[in-house]
């Protein structure tokens, strides 16, 4: 029997913030549906048994996996907290490294090594970050028990940095790679070409290729294509994975995702306003303030019929944080699930199918990935050939918030 072809994995990064509290408390919606979308209590057809937890927020809680009800059948990705160190929220020390290591082994199945991103506190200190990261990786390699599959990290902001970092760190014996740092597709594609040229994916110990914090629809097409080609050329052995906090971020801006549009590479969304408060701090019903003609018993527009929205009415917005936000987060996760499912179908069908579904520039990027894999020896040459298309997909990979809408309803400005 032919092995089932691997599909890329999306880890929702929802372990911090208000929704995380609902998961720890095992809160349920008024309908009785649990917020834990990964639990066996959640309707099976929408269940998502993948989740990211971050050491940056929970390294002092050695049982956070248990507290969140993340059973053994849930694949948990552990974020090492390097970002929190880089921003100064955590102060690096060898003692902190050891605590984070043991926390990751206790709470995650797959985890990124503790690297120090060269940003914020460590801005323009690339070599210093590499030096600290190298010492951490050596310590992790020596002490890993095998309980958690640790991933090597690849950092950089340009081809020279990626090349230098890769050759310095490639000897470590870990279960794959996590790529951090690239804010533009042109950077990530260089990293992929570099790995292909150096035959990195031929190493039998590699099981994962993780891209940190990306979740645009164009990213999904790219990741699905890479997964398909890793399956084909490297024995269906390596999982492509990614994560983002976007489903949980959207409700902060009042954004409720509705459906995907592959031609525009965007999500259609519905704006859900947050009620104002009176002088005593009580919520003012929307029908009395922002939306006078609101019909509170009317169901919100839902394209999926998922458990969070079957009885989700506009009137529930009056209880925004306790009732509306959890439903919005859950629904947004399901929209991501549905979008990824449809992307995988398109990519699996035939290499040319996507060109009729997505814009021409993205179709060219997908075509380039096939060429990269077909001849790894020419991977860098192929990269240069398609660089102009990669640059057209530049910019932040994690942000898909409608800035104009955000600025219209909130005082803070997105820059």
CB neighbour class for 147 (10 Å; exposed up to 12, middle 13-18, buried from 19): exposed
| 273-308 burial: b if 16+ Cβ within 10 Å, else e | ebbeeeeeeebebbbeeeeeebeeeeebebebebbb
Helix axes 185-197, 379-392, angle to 10 degrees: 170
CB 117 within 8 A of CB 132: no
Of 198, 196, 164, nearest to 181 by C-alpha is 164
CB 332 within 8 A of CB 257: yes
The encoded tokens of residue 113 equal 């090594």
pLDDT of residue 2: 56
pLDDT, mean of each 10-residue run, the chain (415 residues):
85 92 96 97 98 94 97 97 87 95 98 88 85 96 97 90 94 95 78 97 97 91 96 97 94 93 94 90 86 90 94 94 95 97 95 87 94 97 93 49 34 32
pLDDT of residue 406: 29
- Pair type for strands 239-244 and 255-261: unpaired
pLDDT of residue 394: 57
Residue 367 sits at the vertex; the CA angle it makes with 366 and 372, to the nearest 5 degrees, is 95
Alpha-carbon separation of residue 181 from 68, 135, 150, 198 (angstroms): 29, 19, 18, 20
pLDDT of residue 414: 31
Cα 248 from chain centroid (whole Å): 11
The encoded tokens of residue 351 equal 């290499």
Cα 68 from chain centroid (whole Å): 19
Beta-ladder partners of 211: 179, 242
pLDDT of residue 408: 34
Task: Return the CATH fold of 9-248.
Answer: TIM Barrel (3.20.20)
* Domain spans of the chain, in order of start: 9-248, 258-338
């Amino acid at each position: 029997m032919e092995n089932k072809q691997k599909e890329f994995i999306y880890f929702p990064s929802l372990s911090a913030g208000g929704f995380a509290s609902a998961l720890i408390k095992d809160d349920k919606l008024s309908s009785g549906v649990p917020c834990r979308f990964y639990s066996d209590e959640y309707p099976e057809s929408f269940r998502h048994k993948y989740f990211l937890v971050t050491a940056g927020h929970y390294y002092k809680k050695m049982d956070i996996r248990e507290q969140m009800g993340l059973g053994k059948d849930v694949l948990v990705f552990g974020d090492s907290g390097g970002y929190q160190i880089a921003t100064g929220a955590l102060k690096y020390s060898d003692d902190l490294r050891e605590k984070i290591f043991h926390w990751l082994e206790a709470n995650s199945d797959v985890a990124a090594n503790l690297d120090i991103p060269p940003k914020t506190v460590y801005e323009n200190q690339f070599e210093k970050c590499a030096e600290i990261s190298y010492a951490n990786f050596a310590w992790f390699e020596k002490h890993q028990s095998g309980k958690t599959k640790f991933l090597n990290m690849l950092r950089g902001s340009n081809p020279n940095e990626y090349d230098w970092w890769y050759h310095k760190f490639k000897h470590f014996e870990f279960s794959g790679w996590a790529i951090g740092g690239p804010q533009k597709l042109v950077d990530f594609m260089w990293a992929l070409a570099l790995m292909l040229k150096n035959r990195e994916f031929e190493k039998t110990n590699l099981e994962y290729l993780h891209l940190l914090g990306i979740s645009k629809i164009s990213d999904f097409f790219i990741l699905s294509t890479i997964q398909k080609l890793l399956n084909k050329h490297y024995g269906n052995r390596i999982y492509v994975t990614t994560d983002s906090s976007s489903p949980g971020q959207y409700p902060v801006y009042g954004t409720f995702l509705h459906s995907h549009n592959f031609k525009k590479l965007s999500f259609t969304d519905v704006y859900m306003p947050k009620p104002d408060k009176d002088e005593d701090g009580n919520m003012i019903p929307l029908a009395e303030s922002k939306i006078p003609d609101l019909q509170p018993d009317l169901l919100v527009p839902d394209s999926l019929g998922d458990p969070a929205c079957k009885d989700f009415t506009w009137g529930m917005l009056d209880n925004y944080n306790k009732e509306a936000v959890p439903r919005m987060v859950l629904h947004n996760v399901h929209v991501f699930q549905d979008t990824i499912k449809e992307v995988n179908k398109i990519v699996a069908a035939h290499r040319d199918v996507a060109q009729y579904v997505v814009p021409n520039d993205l179709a060219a990027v997908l075509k380039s990935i096939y060429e990269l894999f077909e001849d790894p020896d020419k991977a860098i040459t192929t990269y240069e050939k398609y660089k102009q298309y990669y640059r057209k997909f530049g910019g932040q990979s994690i942000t898909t918030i409608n800035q104009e809408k955000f600025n219209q309803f909130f005082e803070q400005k997105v820059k």
